[in-house]
Amino acid sequence: MGKSVTDEELVRRVQAGDKAAFNALVLKYQHKIVNLVSRYVHDPALSFDVAQEAFIKAYRGLHNFRGESAFYTWLYRIAINTAKNHIVSESRRNPDISIDAQDAEQIGGESALKEYATPEAELLSSEIQATVQKAVESLPDDLRTAIILRELEGMSYEEIAQAMNCPIGTVRSRIFRAREAIDKSLKALNMD
């Protein structure tokens, strides 16, 4: 299939029974969906499983897709809901889930310029990253989803409104409130 084939055409082909067309959609969006899911599900192996589950749900539900929104917006909505459902089911099984030391180390990531960074700068950078992540994780679901889709996935306000099934004004408000909460957390870090 050429690169000029649109999502709409691929969806029509899948709805007509062409399974290879769905494979093309999976290949096109798998990295974005895994990245999106990993913002909710922090275990990389589980992120892949949850993303795969989202694609399965999308495949099963594709016959109901009417094209009222872009395919990837519809797929993002399924992925977010699948990730949230996974978190809820895990919390029922493991009510004492918390971040462990290994996960906390991974939050900081790797820097190509580590040898030039001072210990103080690295400590501050790690504290800022941990503070931002903690602030994002502590946001209510609607605020967290909006800020992740905007800042990490780079979606437009219109795309977020479609993905979250709400008006653009609500999206703007949620993103504003999320940014305020993150800023408040960062200001508290500076006061220490």
Give the model confidence (pLDDT) of 101-126 as tens digits: 444 444 444 444 444 455 665 666 66
Domain check: are 74 and 143 in the same one? no
- Domain boundary among the residues 81, 97, 113 is at 97
Domain check: are 90 and 44 in the same one? yes
When pLDDT is averaged across residues 21-50 and rounded to a whole number, the result is 90
Domain check: are 93 and 3 in the same one? yes
Which of 189 and 31 is assigned the larger pLDDT? 31
Q: Which helix (H) or strand (E) holds 60?
A: helix 44-61
Domain check: are 52 and 62 in the same one? yes
Domain check: are 84 and 58 in the same one? yes
Domain check: are 63 and 103 in the same one? no
Rounded Cα distance between 133 and 144, Å, is 11
- Domain boundary among the residues 46, 66, 97 is at 97
When pLDDT is averaged across residues 81-93 and rounded to a whole number, the result is 83
Which of 165 and 133 is assigned the larger pLDDT? 165
Domain check: are 104 and 93 in the same one? no
Q: Which pTM was predicted?
A: 0.56
The whole-number pLDDT of residue 114 equals 42
In this predicted structure, the answer to whether residue 172 has a pLDDT above a threshold of 70 is: yes
Q: Report the CATH number at residue 5.
A: 1.10.1740.10
Domain check: are 118 and 185 in the same one? yes
- Domain boundary among the residues 97, 126, 157 is at 97
The whole-number pLDDT of residue 16 equals 93
* CA-based torsion, 138, 140, 145, 146: positive or negative: negative
Domain check: are 93 and 104 in the same one? no
Report the b/e string of 77-91 with b at 16+ CB within 10 A.
Answer: bbbbebbbebbeeee
In this predicted structure, the answer to whether residue 98 has a pLDDT above a threshold of 70 is: no
Tokens read off for 154: 């780079």
Domain check: are 1 and 89 in the same one? yes
Number of domains in the chain: 2
Q: Report the CATH number at residue 162.
A: 1.10.10.10
Domain check: are 82 and 129 in the same one? no
Domain check: are 92 and 103 in the same one? no
Q: Closest Cα to residue 24, out of 61, 70, 59, 69?
A: 59
The whole-number pLDDT of residue 123 equals 61
Q: Which domain holds residue 123?
A: 99-192
In this predicted structure, the answer to whether residue 99 has a pLDDT above a threshold of 80 is: no
Q: Closest Cα to residue 136, out of 51, 52, 42, 54?
A: 42
Backbone φ and ψ of 95, nearest 5° = -70, -10
